[in-house]
């Protein structure tokens, strides 16, 4: 939003103060921006603020409004219209990302292990346009195994050995250092002979084991030796978005990537909410939930007001840790025994309540419905106090 | 007047002690038989008359109240040997594991005890959950040696469901109970037991409470045979075994037999509590059906909680098939006379309505605006019969309540399941109509998600003044035109309303004056002055708009040209309304359609819901009469394209197909370049999909170029009334690629989809590309692939509804206690702040402008127009 450049907020704020209006920051900014765009005169601004004040008062939430239920319905109702198709091509055609209803369920469940973690890595201004630099980083992040840089691979069952040839062109292409690779190989395998880019391996053969099997296992091990990459990250895809180069990854490791040189720490994101929580804290996790849920909805062409999603996210993060919506999270930690019992695991909650000697104060909705009293929401949240005449 | 209702302020939970069970019971139950030969209940049997009465007319032997008023009284069974309560088996196991077998102390050191006691104390003071702390204690207190008496501890294992095994020795329930008795009261709290309401040994039962007969009523079948409740059956089993166990013990039977019987007793008591406990075969009825015992009665969707406490069956409701009626208002619902004479509204008789009420009673219960019941001031309910009505009228006076039939103007609740959002239940005004279906205005179909292919809906009649008042101000249809989900209209014109309005208002649409007045008459708009000559459709439509409405927007028919010609738009898609006059642009879905109606949206926001309802009612009626003036129909003739177009499409498709062949050849010859991060095969698939997708789009474009705005199907598609251009091109030109699991079809036989193809064939035709159009007809292979894609869609929908339904239930359950407090914060029922300011700006999305407070740009424009006018 800041892209509009300098906007004269003070001028607007002064008028607002004079009008005794109490506007949220975002609205003030919008007014200032509009004032700039339309070149409002002082008098016009005055009347505009007055009109907006009226509109703002009219649009305020009413006290006692059941915002929770409305939010839940607004998020849940479009679920029926969503597609089930788990995979869809998002942003980059090369990567699959879970979308639609399964993704939304994943978000509200606050799953520890999401089905398709992915990152979008942006770079600082000076590096963003530097393709060479981005490629180098991409190869440091992406998982590369020895097999990816081989020219020749030979298993010799007669001599019980194995010869490989490293393709220098591929090494160069992937911006790797030859010495690093050799060092990694030497560290991983003891019985290896290195002759420039020709390597030969021998299995450790003991009498008890089957020799050919050992050799084959070794072959697999050699091929799958990881020579580059960040933990938990698989494939990476580099793409150009408008002017800058961006890396999209399969798998996610926000902590490690943010530590890398040149990576833009404010724009780089992951879709793994627990990782955001771990690395950046609970407020960031809340924003991540909002962002993920909102973009899942938008991708399906459904509009849901942010405020609803915000409330869901705030409820999930109110305790300082990300809690799921459902029996293991919010619903399982409710204060009321009846509320918990009427949701799921009825017997468990009732039995536990009996030995704990729990007391249900009947302050929630479902408890009051169960015992047949008016619910403390909306018109039920107000009472009448009579002032006795003196 | 009814007495003041007492408010329940809290419910305490606790465990029943054996003394308590005995104290609250009215009789001991000993005999496993229920009735004697004469059909009378046996004393000290399971149907002992002291346990309460069910038959009306009889009086309860214990409390003296009549059947129906007596809630019943408990009895008890003295168990010959103690038995473990299944529900607590896990807890008992954990306690045994965490306490010393010799001294009975908890296996924690003194300092740990003090530490945890403090922690629990502070949690309890704040009324927070102690579950996590208790869990920690149970993991920590698994020691091999007692810190208090140095006794070596043996591992206690649980053998599901209820057996406790220490080392290799299986503890009997009596031994378990002894162990539990030994535990120090000071340690209770650390084990998660509240000493004020529970003691661990009470988890091992010595006395079994017998629920009153009202809980387990027996039913008499038509044959006169009595059929007992599942619980009674189970209790009979328990009593029988208990009796045998007692006899055997008294007779000094061998230990083995006693233990067998004891085990059997344990089994019966276990299944009495929970017949689905893991590790026990469920007890079955003679017919083989598993018994529904205590836990099953409470649990799950059909259990007491969800189906009898959270939701209830109600009176004063009706359900029937729905059908459309474009002539009633959106606020109304057509109620069949048959229903209106059955469900009633209670009316307090006063001096002012006495005569009116007498008239209703005079009409009787069978003829429409009549009355069914009268409630006397002494709360006796009297049915009105044609024979008795005179006598009732005689006595009728203020203070009586008359339950009269539904009449026009009554407020009722109308609902269609699944009730996914609040617009699924709205208040309507009754309009009593002939025939047997509920009638509703078509504009309310979208919020209810209703159609008329056999849908049924429910109606509920309010029974109190408060509920009617609340419903009228909060739940009426007109109050819900804007959806809280996105702040736009969810109620609006659909289908013919849209195409009708378009036909009416499009460029070149002119009507003779008498035609105009016919249409206006129908839509109930005040007549303008007669002026002779002809009227344009835009002029007619302008009559509905508020006189000071100003707006500019692009209509649905907008083709999104590169450069917008604005007022000169040749599609007439640039809508300009100045001072309530439609200057340019045609009216279509963007104007007053559900989900996107801009005019409707701004009328609701600026002129209020009353005006919006009036506008919607008259606009839809005008559109309907407009469409009737012109005539509107569609058939497959609308999708007819000339031979030349067909040839072009044919050529295009065969070109694309050969392009696919080329790709396959390149792939076979290893000349294909793989996309980064993809295998060759995947790359090929993606490329083929792309080529075929383009082929369908291009063929569609060819077909489209032969369609004009004089084509009814096209009008419907472009104005947003129904259908899409894609639907039309699929009918006219080419259906396109069928997909299963997001890709081309590749399942079926090994390496081929059908035996009609070669193995490994990858061509367009072999993987489900439907090259024919619906109109031309699909060949058998295409038909088969099409059915595959279609089936996947159906399965998908079926699964999705279940999944999203559960997600919604969880969301609602998690968020339902939140509300906006007087200070603007959002809190849950514990008072925990969830948001310090609702939505960060305190704006209600339903009252906002698509999420924003106001459209500032529009406000400025209007402000300037206004000041210019001065």
Q: Which residues does A113 contact at the CB level (< 8 Å), separation at least 6? A: none
Tell me the pLDDT band of A4, cut-offs 50, 70 and 90: very low
Give B46: exposed, middle or buried? Use CB within 10 Å, 0-12, 13-18, 19+.
buried
- Superfamily classification of domain B496-630: RNA polymerase Rpb1, domain 3 (1.10.274.100)
**Is B442 a residue whose pLDDT tops 90?**
yes
**Which pLDDT value is given to residue A92?**
52
Please give, rounded to a whole number of angstroms, the shortest distance from the CA of A286 to a CA of chain B. 12
Chain B residues within 8 A of A7 when measuring between CB atoms:
none
- Distance CA(B740)–CA(B269), nearest Å, equals 53
Q: Between the ranges A155-164, B171-180, B308-317, B850-859, where is the mean pLDDT highest?
A: B308-317
CA angle in degrees (0–180, nearest 5) for A332-A337-A339: 65
- pLDDT at residue B272, as a whole number: 92
Report in angstroms the alpha-carbon separations of B169 from B154, B175, B201, B265, B428: 10, 11, 20, 20, 70
Question: Mean pLDDT over residues B771-786, rounded?
Answer: 92
Chain A residues with beta carbon closer than 8 angstroms to that of B814: 72, 315, 325-326, 329-331
Q: What is the ipTM of this complex?
A: 0.89
| pLDDT tens digits, B248-296 | 988 888 888 888 899 899 999 999 999 888 888 888 888 889 989 999 9
A:B CB pairs within 8 Å: 334
Residue B485 has its nearest CB partner, among A305, A330, A346, at A305
Selected residues 306-325 of chain A with any CB under 8 Å from a CB in chain B = 306-308, 310-312, 314-315, 318, 325
Give the closest-approach CA distance of B452 to chain A in angstroms.
20
pLDDT tens digit sequence for B556-566:
888 887 777 77
Listed by number, the residues of chain B in 418-447 with a beta carbon closer than 8 Å to a beta carbon of chain A are 420-422
Among candidates B13, B830, B840 on the partner chain, residue whose Cβ is nearest the Cβ of A353: B13
Instruction: Determine the average pLDDT of the residues in B414-428.
Output: 94
Average pLDDT on B725-747 reads 87
Is B866's pLDDT higher than 80?
no
pLDDT in tens, A342-377: 988 888 999 999 998 889 999 999 999 999 888 999
Residues B199 and B631: their CA atoms lie apart, in Å, by 82
Please give the average per-residue pLDDT across B43-56, as a whole number: 82
Judged by CB atoms closer than 8 Å, whether chains meet at A24 and B470 is answered as no
Q: What beta strand segments (E) does chain A contain?
A: 87-89, 96-98, 118-121, 144-145, 150-156, 161-166, 192-195, 198-201, 226-228, 233-241, 244-251, 269-270, 359-360
Q: What local confidence, expressed as pLDDT, does residue B785 receive? A: 92
| Residue B522: φ, ψ to 5° | -65, -40
CA atoms within 13 Å, Cβ hemisphere of A70: 26
- Of A311 and A126, the structure prediction assigns the larger pLDDT to A311
Question: Which of B420, B674, B856 should one mutate to test binding to chain A, selecting the residue with the greatest count of A CBs within 10 A?
Answer: B856
Query: Helical H runs in A243-305?
Result: 254-258, 273-280, 282-299
Closest CB to A72: pick one of B488, B811, B844. B811
The neighbouring-strand residues paired with B66 are B59
CA distance A358 to A353: 5
pLDDT band at B869; cut points 50, 70, 90? low
What distance in Å separates the CA atoms of residue B696 and residue B432, rounded to the nearest whole number?
52
* This prediction's pTM: 0.89
Mean pLDDT taken over chain B: 88
Task: Report whether B98 contacts B141 (CB < 8 A).
Answer: yes
Nearest to A357 among B196, B300, B840 (CB): B196
Q: Do B819 and A65 touch (CB under 8 A)?
A: yes
Percent of residues, chain B, with pLDDT higher than 70 = 99
Between strands B317-324 and B438-440, the pairing is parallel
For residue B487, the chain A residues in CB contact (below 8 A) are: 305
Task: Tell me if B807 and A235 make a contact (CB, 8 A cut-off).
Answer: no
Contacts of B856 in chain A (CB under 8 A): 30-31, 34, 48, 52
CA distance B609 to chain A (A): 14
All residues at 6 or more sequence positions from B330 whose CB lies less than 8 Å from its CB, including other chains: B441, B443, B444, B477, B478, B491, B613, B616, B617
pLDDT (average), residues B147-167: 82
Contacts of A325 in chain B (CB under 8 A): 810-811, 814
Please enumerate in sequence order all residues whose Cβ is within 8 A of that of A36, keeping only pairs 6 or more positions apart, or say none: A4, A7, A8
Nearest to A80 among B801, B816, B860 (CB): B801
- In words, the CATH class of domain B636-795 is mainly alpha
> Is pLDDT larger for residue A60 or for residue A208?
A60
Mean pLDDT (whole number) for B184-212: 89
Asked whether the predicted pLDDT for residue B41 surpasses 90, the reply is no
Tell me, what's the pLDDT at B827? Answer: 92
Is B740 within 8 Å of chain A by CB? no
Report pLDDT for B787: 93
- In B758-817, the residues whose Cβ lies within 8 Å of chain A are 796, 799-801, 803-805, 807-808, 810-817
Q: Report whether pLDDT(A130) > 90.
A: no
The percentage of residues in chain A with a pLDDT greater than 90, rounded to a whole number, is: 20
Cβ-Cβ contacts under 8 Å, B829 against chain A: 335-336, 363-365, 376
pLDDT of residue A208: 61
Shortest distance between the Cα of B632 and any Cα of chain A, in A, equals 30
CB-nearest partner of A79 from B196, B808, B844: B808
Residues of A with CB below 8 A from B807's CB?
76, 79, 101, 104-105, 108
Residue B406 has pLDDT above 90, yes or no: yes
| Lowest mean per-residue pLDDT among B31-45, B207-221, B720-734 | B31-45
Chain B residue numbers with beta carbons less than 8 Å from the beta carbon of A356 are 13, 130, 192-194, 198
Residue B47 vs residues B76, B230, B381: alpha-carbon distances, Å: 12, 14, 33
Rounded CA separation A307/B851 (Å)? 8
The pLDDT score that the predictor gives to residue B3 is: 59
3-state secondary structure of B193: coil
The answer for residues whose C-beta is within 8 angstroms of residue B187's C-beta and 6 or more apart is B99, B105, B106, B113
**B800 phi and psi angles, rounded to 5 deg:** -60, -45
Predicted confidence at residue A155, as pLDDT, reads 80
CA closest to A370 among chain B residues? B309
- Is 90 exceeded by the pLDDT of residue A282? yes
Q: What would the mean pLDDT of B648-662 be, rounded to a whole number?
A: 91
Summarised one tens digit per residue, pLDDT across range B580-637 is 888 888 898 988 888 888 899 889 888 889 999 999 999 999 999 999 988 999 998 8
- Contacts of residue B54, Cβ cutoff 8 Å, sequence gap at least 6: B67, B213, B214, B217
pLDDT score of B439 more than 60: yes
DSSP string, B768-808: TEE-S-TTT---HHHHHHHHHHHHHHHHHHHHHHHHHHHHH
In the stretch 118-137 of chain A, residues with CB closer than 8 A to chain B read none
Give A90's contacts in chain B (Cβ within 8 Å): none
The percentage of chain B sitting over the pLDDT mark of 90, rounded to a whole number, equals 36
Query: Which residue has 């450069």 as its token pair?
Result: B563
Domain spans of chain B? 85-203, 317-480, 496-630, 636-795, 817-870
CB atoms within 10 A of CB A20: 7
CB-based contacts of B672, cutoff 8 Å, min separation 6: B663, B666, B680, B683, B684, B687
Q: Which parts of B574-676 fold into alpha helices (H)?
A: 589-592, 598-630, 643-668
Retrieve residue B623's tokens.
């559109």
Mean pLDDT value of segment B339-368: 92
Residues of chain A found within 8 Å of residue B422, distances taken between Cβ atoms: 69-70, 73
Residue pair B836/B821 in contact by the 8 Å Cβ criterion: no
- Chain A from 63 to 92: CB within 8 A of any B CB: 63-80, 82-85, 87-88
**Residue B350 reports pLDDT greater than 90:** yes
CA-based nearest distance A186→chain B, Å: 29
B138 vs B154: CA distance, rounded Å: 16
What is the CATH T-level fold of the domain B317-480, as seen in this structure? Barwin-like endoglucanases (2.40.40)
Contact by Cβ (8 Å): B834, B826: yes
pLDDT tens figures, A65-98: 999 999 999 999 888 888 655 555 544 556 778 8
What average pLDDT score do residues A60-69 get? 91
For residue B850, the chain A residue with the least C-alpha distance is A305
Q: Does A107 contact B at CB distance below 8 Å?
A: no
- Nearest Cα of chain B lies from the Cα of A106 at a distance, in angstroms, of 10
Q: Are B843 and A61 a contacting pair at CB < 8 A? A: yes
Tell whether A356 lies on the interface with B, counting CB pairs under 8 A: yes
């Amino acid at each position: 939003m800041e892209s509009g450049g300098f906007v004269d907020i003070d001028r607007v704020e002064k008028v607002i103060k004079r009008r005794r209006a109490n506007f949220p920051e975002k609205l003030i900014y919008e007014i200032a921006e509009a004032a700039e765009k339309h070149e409002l005169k002082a008098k016009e601004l005055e009347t505009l603020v007055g009109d907006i004040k009226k509109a703002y008062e009219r649009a305020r939430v009413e006290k006692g409004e059941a915002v929770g239920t409305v939010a839940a319905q607004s998020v849940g109702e479009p679920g029926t219209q969503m597609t089930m198709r788990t995979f869809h091509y998002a942003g980059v055609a090369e990567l699959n990302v879970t979308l639609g209803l399964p993704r939304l369920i994943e978000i509200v469940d606050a799953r520890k292990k999401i089905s398709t973690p992915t990152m979008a890595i942006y770079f600082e201004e000076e590096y963003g346009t530097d393709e060479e630099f981005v490629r180098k980083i991409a190869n440091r992040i992406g998982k590369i195994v020895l097999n990816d840089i081989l020219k020749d691979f030979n298993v010799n069952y007669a001599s019980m050995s194995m010869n490989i040839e490293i393709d220098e062109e591929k090494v160069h292409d992937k911006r790797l250092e030859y010495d690093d690779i050799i060092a990694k190989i030497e560290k991983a395998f003891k019985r290896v002979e290195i002759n420039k880019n020709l390597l030969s391996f021998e299995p450790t053969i003991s009498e008890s084991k089957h020799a050919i099997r050992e050799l084959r296992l070794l072959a697999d091990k050699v091929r799958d030796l990881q020579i580059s990459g960040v933990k938990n990250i698989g494939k990476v895809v580099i793409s150009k978005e408008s002017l800058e180069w961006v890396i999209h990854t399969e798998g996610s490791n926000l902590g490690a990537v943010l530590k890398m040189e040149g990576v833009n720490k404010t724009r780089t994101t992951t879709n793994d909410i627990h990782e955001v929580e771990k690395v950046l804290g609970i407020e960031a996790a809340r924003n991540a939930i909002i962002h993920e849920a909102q973009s899942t909805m938008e991708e399906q062409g459904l509009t849901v007001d942010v405020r609803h999603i915000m409330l869901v996210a705030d409820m999930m993060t109110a305790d300082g840790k990300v809690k799921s919506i459902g029996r293991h999270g919010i619903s399982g930690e409710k204060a009321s025994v009846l509320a918990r019992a009427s949701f799921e695991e009825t017997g468990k909650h009732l039995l536990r309540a009996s030995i704990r000697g729990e007391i249900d104060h009947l302050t929630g909705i479902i408890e009051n419905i169960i015992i047949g009293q008016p619910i403390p929401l909306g018109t039920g949240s107000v009472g009448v106090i009579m002032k006795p005449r003196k | 007047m009814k007495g003041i209702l007492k408010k329940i302020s809290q419910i305490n939970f606790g465990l029943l002690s054996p003394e308590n069970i005995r104290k609250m019971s009215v009789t001991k139950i000993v005999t496993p038989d229920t009735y004697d030969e004469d059909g009378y209940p046996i004393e000290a049997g399971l149907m002992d008359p002291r346990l309460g009465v069910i038959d009306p007319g009889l009086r309860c032997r214990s409390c003296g109240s009549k059947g129906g008023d007596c809630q019943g009284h408990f009895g008890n069974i003295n168990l010959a040997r103690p038995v473990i309560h299944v529900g607590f088996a896990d807890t008992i196991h954990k306690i045994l594991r965490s306490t010393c077998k010799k001294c009975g102390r908890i296996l924690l050191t003194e300092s740990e005890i003090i530490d945890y006691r403090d922690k629990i104390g502070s949690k309890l003071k704040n009324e927070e959950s102690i579950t996590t702390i208790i869990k920690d204690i149970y993991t920590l207190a698994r020691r091999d040696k007692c810190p208090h008496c140095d006794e070596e501890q043996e591992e206690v294992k649980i053998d599901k469901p209820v057996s406790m095994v220490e080392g290799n020795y299986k503890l009997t329930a009596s031994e378990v109970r002894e162990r539990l008795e030994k535990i120090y009261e000071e340690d209770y709290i650390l084990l998660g037991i509240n000493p004020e309401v529970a003691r661990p040994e009470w988890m091992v039962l010595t006395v079994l409470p017998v629920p009153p007969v009202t809980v387990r009523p027996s039913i008499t079948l038509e044959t006169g045979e009595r059929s007992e409740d599942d619980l009674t059956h189970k209790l009979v089993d328990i009593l029988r075994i208990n009796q045998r166990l007692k006899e055997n013990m008294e007779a000094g039977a061998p230990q083995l037999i006693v233990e067998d019987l004891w085990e059997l007793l344990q089994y019966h008591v276990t299944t009495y509590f929970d017949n689905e406990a893991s590790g026990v075969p469920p007890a079955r009825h003679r017919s083989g059906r598993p018994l529904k015992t205590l836990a099953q009665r409470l649990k799950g969707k059909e259990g007491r909680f969800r189906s009898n406490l959270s939701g209830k069956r109600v009176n004063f409701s009706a359900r029937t098939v729905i059908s459309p009626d474009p002539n009633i208002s959106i606020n109304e619902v057509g109620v069949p006379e048959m229903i209106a004479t059955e469900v009633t509204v209670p009316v307090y008789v006063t001096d002012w309505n006495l005569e009116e009420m007498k008239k209703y009673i005079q009409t009787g219960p069978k003829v429409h605006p009549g009355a069914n019941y009268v409630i006397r001031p002494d709360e006796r309910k009297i049915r009105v019969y044609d024979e008795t009505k005179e006598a009732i009228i005689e006595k009728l006076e203020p203070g009586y309540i008359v339950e009269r039939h539904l009449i026009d103007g009554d407020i009722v609740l109308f609902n269609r399941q699944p009730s996914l959002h609040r617009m699924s239940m709205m208040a309507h005004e009754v309009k009593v109509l002939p025939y047997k279906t509920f009638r509703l205005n078509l504009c309310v179909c979208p919020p209810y998600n209703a159609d008329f292919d056999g849908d049924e809906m429910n109606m509920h009649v309010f029974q109190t003044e408060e509920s009617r008042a609340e419903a009228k101000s909060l739940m009426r249809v007109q109050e819900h035109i804007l959806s809280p989900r996105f702040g736009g209209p969810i109620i609006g014109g659909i289908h013919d309303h849209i195409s009708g309005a378009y036909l009416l208002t499009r460029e070149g649409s002119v009507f003779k004056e008498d035609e105009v007045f016919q249409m206006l008459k129908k839509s109930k708009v005040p007549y303008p002055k007669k002026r002779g000559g002809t009227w344009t459709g835009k002029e007619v439509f302008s009559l509905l708009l508020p006189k000071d409405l100003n707006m500019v927007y692009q209509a649905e028919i907008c083709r999104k040209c590169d450069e917008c010609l604005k007022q000169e738009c040749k599609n007439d898609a640039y809508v300009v309304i100045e001072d309530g006059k439609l200057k340019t642009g045609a009216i279509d879905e963007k104007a007053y359609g559900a989900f996107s109606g801009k005019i409707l949206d701004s009328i609701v926001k600026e002129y209020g819901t009353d005006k919006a309802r009036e506008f919607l009612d008259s606009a839809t009626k005008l559109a309907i009469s407009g469409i009737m003036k012109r005539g509107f129909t569609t058939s497959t003739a609308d999708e007819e394209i000339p031979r030349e177009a067909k040839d072009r499409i044919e050529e295009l498709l065969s070109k694309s197909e050969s392009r696919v062949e080329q790709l396959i050849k390149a792939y076979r010859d290893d000349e294909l370049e793989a996309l980064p991060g993809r295998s060759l095969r995947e790359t090929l698939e993606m490329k083929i999909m792309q080529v075929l997708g383009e082929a369908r789009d291009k063929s569609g474009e060819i077909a489209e170029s032969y369609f004009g705005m004089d084509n009814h199907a096209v009008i419907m598609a472009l104005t947003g009334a129904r259908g899409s251009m894609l639907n039309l091109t699929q009918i006219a030109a080419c259906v396109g690629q069928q997909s299963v699991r997001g890709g081309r079809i590749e399942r079926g036989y090994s390496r081929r989809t059908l035996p009609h193809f070669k193995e490994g064939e990858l061509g367009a035709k072999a993987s489900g590309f439907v090259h024919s159009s619906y109109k031309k007809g699909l060949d058998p292979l295409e038909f088969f692939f099409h059915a595959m894609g279609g089936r996947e869609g159906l399965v998908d929908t079926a699964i999705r509804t279940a999944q999203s339904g559960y997600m919604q239930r969880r969301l609602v359950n998690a968020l339902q206690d939140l509300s906006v407090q007087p200070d603007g914060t959002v809190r849950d029922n514990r008072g925990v702040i969830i948001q310090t300011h609702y939505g960060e700006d305190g704006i209600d999305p339903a009252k906002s402008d698509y999420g924003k407070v106001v459209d500032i740009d529009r406000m400025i424009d209007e402000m300037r127009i206004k000041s210019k006018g001065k």
